[in-house]
Every structure is written in C-alpha cells, then in structure tokens.
C-alpha cells in the first residue's frame, strides 16, 4: 500500500494555521475511552447497490477484536485511553447520487446510526467504503489517494476506503488493515478531531514524503513479534497495525525508526 493514508492532519491545518498548531511532545488529554462499532452501510442509487459482503464484514470485526488491545496500549502513552469493540450495527441503506457522496452526508448517516442504536457519548463508529462508490472528500485512486480520515459528528467516526474484497484477518492483500488501524489509533488519541492532540500514526506512515510505512506485527495470541517497513515481513504474523509514534516524536514527519518500531508499552 503506497501513497497518502490519512487526510485528518490536512483538514486540521485548514481550520488552524500551521503556526498555531501545538508541537506535542508530552501526554495529551481527552483521549477516547469507549466502544467502537462497525457500520454496515448499503449505498443505493444508479449503478448500485454497493456494500460489504457479510464475510468481509465479519473479517473486519474479527480484526478489530484483535487490534483493540494493542491500539489501546499504544494510545495510553498519550493519556487514559481504552478501546473495546461492540457488535456491528444493523445494516442501514443510504442513497447516493451518481455513485458518490460527501463527508457532510456521511456525518448525517453517523448521527442517524447513533440515534437508531441509542449509542452514548463513549461510542465511535467505523465506516468502510466498498469499491465502486466514492466519498468525494476522500477520493482513492489506485493506492495513491486518500485511504481514510477520522472526524467527529455527534460522536467520533472513522472512514476507510477498502481497496479490495475477500478480506482476511492477516490482510495479506494489504487492502484494509493499515488504514483501519491508522484511523482507529488516531481517533483514540484524537477523538475531537481538532488540533488539541496529534495525529499519532502520520509520522510513521506514508503521509510523510519519502517515508516507508512502519507496521507493528502480532501473533494469534496478540503478542508483539516485530516491526518492519517491508510487506509482507520476513517473519510470520497473525495481524498487524499501522505503527504509532512515541509521544516525543509525534510531531516529527517523518518520525525516526526508534519512535515507530517498538512493542506496545
């Protein structure tokens, strides 16, 4: 997977000038402590419908259940954080025009799902965009465009463009896990999606020019087995995460290897 992963930092900088953004080198505040729910959206309209196959939805759910613990451990470097995973939300049909939609519409759908499921303030939603339909504010093109971002409507939400189907927990196709874990970790540290907390994966990923993405690998028991910028790595693994930068280098772009390749604290 190459190209830019996340555009949340760019959106933040559009809201506040770069000169006023804090240089974070200490534990942050206001981290996420709650439950993430996987959305199951069916996009309807001419050329559709588009949705995740039930098997792919189940695979991402299984991946999230494995990823939640190490993501929480990495995030706790920045403050009190805890991520659990709830059951996927019921399927919801949404209408798109011309096979595309905007983030403003996505926020409306997030609010509707939040209300329908009676989700509280300690909840977040993950939306996966299937191939064939386009988020105009986060276009992906051949692995060189936008793969995801996180924001906040009534509750925090994350968005990820899927690059394929027939998903597996180890994501041997490299079509979802890096972006999902990237947005999950950054949402956990930065649930307000404002300029108060850093984008903790950008410095270890391809957001930084010329940077190869660091990934943290784990076995089936969730034990850390190593980090690498090569994919697949030279060692066996069960699942992987987008690397999370240590607080001291969270504002570096790129962050040094020592701040990206390490076990969960």
- Domain limits of the chain? 8-197
- 176 burial (CB, 10 Å; 0-12 / 13-18 / 19+) is buried
The reported pLDDT for the residue numbered 70 is 98
The reported pLDDT for the residue numbered 196 is 87
The answer to whether the peptide bond before residue 232 is cis (omega within 30 degrees of 0) is yes
d(CA 170, CA 184): 17
d(CA 66, CA 120): 23
Give the residues of the chain that fall short of pLDDT 70. Answer: 1-5, 8-29, 142-144, 210
d(CA 25, CA 20): 15
The reported pLDDT for the residue numbered 14 is 60
Q: What are phi and psi of 101, to 5 degrees?
A: -155, 175
The reported pLDDT for the residue numbered 10 is 67
What is the pTM for the complete model shown? 0.92
Closest C-alpha to 181, from 262, 66, 26: 66
Which residues make Cβ contacts (< 8 Å) with residue 97, sequence separation at least 6? 45, 46
């Amino acid at each position: 997977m190459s190209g830019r992963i996340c555009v949340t930092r760019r959106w933040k900088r559009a809201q506040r000038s770069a000169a006023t953004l804090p240089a974070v080198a200490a534990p942050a505040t206001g981290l996420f402590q709650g439950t993430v729910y996987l959305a199951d959206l069916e996009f309807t309209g001419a050329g559709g419908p588009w949705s995740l196959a039930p098997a792919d939805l189940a695979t991402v759910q299984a991946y999230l259940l494995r990823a939640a613990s190490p993501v929480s451990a990495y995030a706790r470097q920045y403050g009190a954080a805890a991520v659990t995973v709830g059951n996927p939300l019921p399927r919801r049909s949404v209408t798109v025009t011309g096979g595309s939609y905007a983030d403003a519409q996505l926020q409306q759908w997030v609010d509707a799902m939040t209300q329908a499921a009676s989700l509280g303030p300690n909840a977040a939603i993950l939306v996966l965009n299937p191939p064939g339909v386009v988020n105009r504010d986060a276009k992906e093109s051949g692995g060189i465009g936008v793969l995801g971002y996180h924001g906040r409507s009534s509750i925090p939400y994350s968005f990820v463009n899927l690059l394929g189907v027939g998903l597996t927990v180890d994501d041997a196709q490299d079509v979802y896990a890096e972006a999902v874990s990237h947005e999950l970790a950054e949402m956990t540290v930065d649930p307000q999606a404002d300029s108060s907390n850093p984008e903790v994966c950008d410095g270890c990923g391809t957001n930084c020019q010329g940077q190869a993405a660091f990934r943290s690998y784990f076995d089936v028991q969730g034990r850390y087995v190593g980090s690498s910028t090569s994919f697949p790595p030279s060692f066996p693994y069960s699942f992987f995460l987008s690397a999370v930068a240590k607080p001291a280098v969270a504002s570096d772009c790129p962050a040094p290897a020592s701040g990206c390749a390490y076990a969960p604290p």
